[in-house]
Chains A and B, each alone.
Chain A
Amino acid sequence: MANIISYCMEAVADYLSPKLCVNCGTAIKLQSKSKFLCTTCFDWLKNCGNGYYNINGTHSLYPLNDVVRSLMHGLKYHGMTDIAIEMINVLPWEDTSFMGWGNKINIVPVPVNSARLRERGYNQAECIARAMQKKWGGRLFLGVLKRKKYNVSQTRLGAEERAWNAAGAFTARPPLPAEILLVDDVYTTGATTEACRYALMRAGAEKVEVLTMAYKLTDDGSSDWRKDWDYFKNKKVP
């Protein structure tokens, strides 16, 4: 009975607006596994979700290929918050032991500033954090990190600009857990997460590790974030 009702509800919702694959735009059939991807794209996502990346100490769940990029785009700009749940649920791991953490993870999402929060209505990193907590357990710390400055979006900036933009933007407020898993959506140059980590460490955290949903590789396939970070530290930002 519940099945029939859900089927009918979905049909009515499809009348309102049919589900289209976020990546390729083809129509999605009723009662398919994914809400946002067609079967081919979903299989593709499953395949790249099997690999776990730990690049330069940053845990990453997906490479930023076409499918993941359009998914992240939908999550960030089109209000499709369920994408986070779907992407976490696709992963084969039952707990966080794959990256060296136990069941008791303390999750801190990277915040967005309040103006953008009001405009968008949600924080995409928080969505990911909630999805992780739902699947892997642990505690969520929401008020710990705060974004101070009304800085510009990182999306269209270069590496150096990003570092400048992120520096000093975050403050952490104790009490803090000793071991923290910092969660963000996409890792590009690491400026944002590094600034967050810096703030958390200063507030008294002992171990901060970064987990991002997707990881963007540079052209030669390696990351040069540490070089940027050194450059940033030499500038001696207050």
Chain B
Amino acid sequence: MNNNFKIQIYILPGLASAAGAVLGALLNSQSNIILLVALLSFFAIFWSNRVRIPFMLAFLICIFNIHSPRTSAFLPFKKVLKTEISGKINAVEHKNARTSLSIATARWGNLRLLYNPMDSVIVYPGDSITAQIVIHPLKRELNIPGNFNLRSWMHRQNIQGQGRILQAQIFPQKSFAKIIYQIRQYVLNTSTKYISNKTAGLVPALLTGDRSLLDRDISTSFRNSGLVHVLAVSGFHVVLIATILQILVQNLRLNKNFQRIFASILLFAYMFITGASPSVMRAVIMFISEQLTAILQRPVNSMQRLGIAISAIIIINPAAVWDLGMQLSCGATAGILISNMVSPLEKLKGFKKIIASSIWISFGATCGTLPILIYNFQNFAPLAWIGNLCVVPLISLAMQSGIFMILFSFSSQIAQVFASTTETLLSYSVIFAKLLSEIPGAKVTLGPWPQSITLIMIFTMLFLPLLLHKNHLKAKLLVSLGLACFGAYQGGSVIYHHLNPSAEIFFLDAGQGDCTILKFSHGKAIVIDVGNEANRGNYGVQQLAPFLRRNNIHQIDALIITHPHSDHFGGLESLLDEVKVQQIWIPWQARFCDNPFWQKALQKVQNLNIPIHDVYEGQKVIGLKPWNMKFLFPYINSPVNPADWNSISIVALLQYQNRDLSILPGDLGSKEEDQIMTTHQQIQSPILKLGHHGSHYSSSTRWLKALKPQIAIASAGYRNRYRHPSAKTLARLDSLLIPTFNTATDGSIFLKINAKDLRANPYLLNFTQITTHQ
């Protein structure tokens, strides 16, 4: 491809900038920016001076733009506001039989509003609207890392507030956005008209990026087999469409330059139909700049085109730098281009070459995206290249026939032929994706890595193809150095964990509920209670499962439900769908609870053949050595008291060998505390979770004095109606000089216990710092 490929020229500055970025990452908390600067300045080594300088300028503008008061003044509404607005509709979304409009107003900025019109008014983007609206303030977000955060999402989307429309008047107007919306709807309707089975939702998803009809099973199987890039319209689709376009335009027998301009214009229009996401924009700009260089009769340099595309996107929308699709798209493109430069397959011919080069391209793309994927999702699919080889040709053929189906939709017979072809191809690809996702080891968990290791990995992986190339000894040396660095990190961390066993306790922010997770360095995990605050949606699916996934917990060895109250078991039922649970421990009395939700959850546990253990005093969770988990309460003769389930809640004791570390009670009162203290006179608890969310009926002074806690944690909701943790309890703790943390104000609280010195290091997570831009 490029004969003047000189390794020393770009490897050394690349590594220098990487080293600089690592240093910066260690020093600065906002290392995300530094990571990006390093990555992009590294790309810049491929470009000519004329691109590099404008690019750097664009990047400076971007950083300035993001930190300027205009965009960072995100002021969510604090009170319910009822006003009248007039503005222009930017986008219309239909989801679950509800319509939500995003409206640009002069006074309030962008608003996202629910709209349920009484009579059947059809709303198009581009129309202007005057409406009476109610803007709701944002609820406090639960403070759990790894979760969807509405506030930061709104910030990134530049939406100032959300609410609903009470009354509206819509003035239809002719606009470009309306035409595009109609085209998208047309594609959607045509595909549902001619294709009957589940794959109907795939056609608009592939062609226009409209995923509203996409089947959930299909998308999960694509995601699990590492083929999710096929479903989101990105550079790959644009390249396919562009090739089809070029072949079609070639047959028009126009002048070659007219052909190029024509294809560029069509592709530019296509970009708007797909919604102009940054990755699509990147591909389109790269295509158009290639056509322009061909018209100007200049040499084509793909890396330079990538640079032009990135800088153009940054100027148009600075926030695109944090768009994951954009990062993945750039990484994949760079990987493909670099691997193409050093392709060892030039001598092959014919069918062999086709297969080998597609494996090579897939390899390059995987290398480019792997570190970014691991940094964000902590997993990657090692078998994705097989999927790419088999599914991508099927999908591209299906896209072609899908396009013809839509073009010929005026005659139902021709469209039917193309539709049946599309359907067959798509269902084969779905079957294949499902097969791939069911292979054990289709998804491997890695990481989470610190940012510095991610950076080193990005540079190493981008140049991994060089290892297979003949010459370039220095490059080989550097790549193997990077790999060795990574291997040393990974192996070193395994050895470190083996030599220094540790346990982590996560007191998750569960609102007015409990959720405590114990994770041991040998890989076992225990979850105590799956709380659920009322009106909070589904805690198990929405909050706990993402957190577990992020923290590398794919199997719960023991799930302990302290007692059958909804703030302790509410998320149980939904959690069972997401995470594998080995055994469930409940107090034996809880079997007699006739709460319908509790019985339903128990029924589900039985259906899944998960063993339920009855807990009473003296039992242990087996297989945690050198750690111990003992139960102190309830007694085997504690009576069933349907009026007060709190009185039988489980109290668990965590030990290292024979030393008490922590007591984790449910909602027990001070009477039960006294009972425990009479049977176990020697127990201590350096780390204490306050019983009953810190209510003043529990955590008596006697209990606190006996346990001698060094730190106390209360798990309570923000401004809950029970006023937990109560002032009396806090006064008691204060008088004993015990530092207390509260999940409502401090967010999720993490404790790490090292077995050597049994010292616990609490660290709180400042939520705003972590997820403002991610």
Contact = CB atoms under 8 A, between A and B. Distances in A.
Contacts of B297: 35, 78-82
Given A17-B301, A17-B304, A79-B256, A118 B296 contact: no
B256 A17 contact: no
A102 interface: no
B54 A78 contact: no
A25 interface: yes
Given A17-B301, A78-B299, A121 B256 contact: yes
B48 A27 contact: yes
A152 interface: no
B299 A17 contact: yes
B391 to A, nearest CB: 29
Nearest to B251: A118
B310 to A, nearest CB: 14
Interface stretch (A8-16, A136-144, A181-189, A225-233): A8-16
B232 interface: no
Interface string B282-308: 000000010011101111110011001
B51 interface: yes
A13 B299 CA distance: 12
Contact of A79 (B250, B292, B294, B301): B294
Contacts of A14: 48, 50
A85 to B, nearest CB: 11
Contact of B4 (A17, A25, A121): A25
Q: Which of B54, B294, B298, B300 has the most CB of A within 10 A?
A: B298
A17 B250 contact: no
Given A78-B299, A118-B250, A122-B256, A17 B3 contact: no
A162 interface: no
A205 interface: no
A216 B251 CA distance: 35
Given A35-B297, A79-B297, A121-B256, A16 B292 contact: yes
B298 A17 contact: yes
Contacts of B255: 121
B259 A17 contact: no
A159 interface: no
B296 A13 contact: yes
Contacts of B3: 25
Interface residues of A, number: 22
Nearest to A10: B296
Interface in B229-269: 250-251, 253, 255-256, 259
Interface in A117-165: 118-119, 121-122
Nearest to A25: B4
Nearest to A19: B298
Contacts of A22: 299
Contacts of A48: none
Interface in B148-188: none
Interface residues of B, number: 25
Contact of A16 (B250, B253, B256, B296): B296
Interface in A51-82: 78-82
A16 B309 CA distance: 10
Nearest to B296: A13
Contacts of A81: 297
Interface in B303-322: 304-305, 308
B4 A16 contact: no
A20 interface: yes
Contacts of B54: 15
Contacts of A204: none
B259 A16 contact: no
Contacts of B305: 17
A120 B369 CA distance: 35
Q: Which of A13, A79, A82, A118 has the most CB of B within 10 A?
A: A79
A121 B251 CA distance: 11
A121 B293 contact: no
Contacts of B251: 118
Contacts of A16: 289, 292-293, 296, 298, 308
A174 interface: no
Nearest to B255: A121
A35 B297 CA distance: 9
Interface in A72-108: 78-82
Contacts of A35: 297
Given A25-B4, A78-B299, A18 B308 contact: no
A13 B48 CA distance: 12
A18 B301 CA distance: 9
A40 to B, nearest CB: 16
A78 B253 CA distance: 19
Nearest to B297: A80
Contacts of A19: 298-299
A161 B253 CA distance: 32
Contact of B50 (A18, A25, A119, A122): A18
B58 to A, nearest CB: 12
B176 to A, nearest CB: 26
Contact of B300 (A11, A15, A17): A17
A119 B247 CA distance: 9
Interface string B33-65: 000000000000000101100100000000000
Nearest to B311: A15
A13 B298 contact: yes
B717 to A, nearest CB: 57
A122 B257 CA distance: 11
A80 B54 CA distance: 27
Interface string A38-57: 00000000000000000000
Nearest to A9: B296
Contacts of A82: 297
Nearest to A27: B48
Contacts of B50: 11, 14-15, 18
A21 to B, nearest CB: 10
A81 B676 CA distance: 93
18 contacts: A15-B50, A15-B51, A16-B289, A16-B298, A17-B296, A17-B299, A17-B300, A17-B301, A19-B299, A20-B298, A35-B297, A78-B299, A79-B294, A80-B297, A118-B251, A119-B250, A121-B255, A122-B256
Given A20-B298, A22-B299, A118-B253, 12 more contacts: A13-B296, A15-B50, A16-B289, A17-B301, A18-B298, A18-B304, A19-B298, A19-B299, A35-B297, A79-B256, A118-B250, A121-B255
Q: Which 3 A-B pairs have the closest CB atoms?
A: A121-B256, A17-B293, A17-B298
